A and B are shown apart, each in its own frame.
Chain A
Amino acid sequence: MRVGIVTFPGSLDDIDAARAVRIAGDVPVPLWHGDHDLRGVDAVVLPGGFSYGDYLRCGAIARFAPVMTEVVAAASGGMPVLGICNGFQVLCEAHLLPGALIRNDHRRFVCRDQRLRVESATTAWTSAYQAGQEIVVPLKNGEGGFVADTDTLDRLEGEGRVVVRYVGGNPNGSLRDIAGITNGAGNVVGLMPHPEHAVESLCGPGTDGLGFFTSALQALAA
């Protein structure tokens, strides 16, 4: 299977995301923000970083990059799309996911190995996990506070669309400890922590993040 990794000006983690895709047994395909073409990929990852320097709002300008027109159309058609950190911010700005990410409540950048609980194992990107399973992956952000109005939060919880939740302390002020969410169909997932940095035992806190990338394979094979 071919998984596209979009590079925006200011993307940082596109190379790590491509490596995670490769380790999971997939073929990473580089996609460029200025292209109107997804090059026939089966899934897309929007990586972490500081697209367009985080100018205006995180993800606000990337959301209107030419390639995003194709990503939005493909996501609406059911293609698996994963947004990590800045990618999550882009997905929220693009209205593929509800809510928004604001500056951390403690006003500091956070960079640490973060424990998470997988709340939903039925999305295209989490089927390799068990619901309730705890994993540890790196978290690094300055604007990772997930916010949405109470009705939206209640709907996300009620529909089982909270995908991962922070465990052992809330690192950024995210409402209801939400670290990642999915859309109604379960093909679009966004999260602030970085599973692509936890796919090899040599570096990072372990291999707990690999499941996101092997899940995509399972989803596509199904």
Chain B
Amino acid sequence: MARVFVDVMLKPEILDPQGKAVHGALPRLGFEGVTDVRQGKRFELELDGEVTAERLDQVRAMAATLLSNPVIEDFDVQVEA
């Protein structure tokens, strides 16, 4: 069994109200010096067998069709070390 991580983030030019809300809360808790917060999603996929180039292409296809919306989000695929 192998694990593959898919990180999904809003594109830099897309407003992130949730990140802004978190950013606004940090100083209220006494945490200073944070200039911006962007909030994203992380998916952990457990796969049967070995991670091959073909399987990774499948994961990228999943990320592009369902896990992310390419209109507003970018994704990154990493295999667990």
| Chain A residues close to B by CB (< 8 Å) | 56-57, 60, 64, 92-93, 98-100, 102-107, 145, 147-149, 173
Contact = CB atoms under 8 A, between A and B. Distances in A.
B21 interface: yes
A102 B20 contact: no
A221 B45 CA distance: 50
Contacts of A104: 17
B70 to A, nearest CB: 10
A145 B15 contact: yes
Nearest to A152: B71
Given A60-B66, A173-B15, A102 B72 contact: yes
Interface in B7-33: 10, 13-15, 17-18, 20-21
Given A92-B71, A98-B71, A148-B71, 19 more contacts: A56-B67, A93-B69, A100-B71, A100-B72, A102-B10, A102-B15, A102-B17, A103-B17, A103-B18, A105-B15, A105-B17, A106-B17, A107-B17, A107-B21, A145-B15, A147-B14, A147-B71, A147-B72, A173-B15
Nearest to B13: A149
Interface residues of B, number: 13
Contacts, number: 36
A102 B14 contact: yes
27 contacts: A56-B66, A56-B67, A57-B69, A60-B66, A60-B69, A92-B71, A98-B71, A100-B69, A102-B10, A102-B14, A102-B15, A102-B17, A102-B72, A103-B17, A103-B18, A104-B17, A105-B15, A106-B17, A107-B17, A107-B18, A107-B20, A107-B21, A145-B15, A147-B15, A148-B71, A149-B13, A173-B15
Interface in B33-77: 66-67, 69, 71-72
Given A64-B66, A107-B20, A99 B15 contact: no
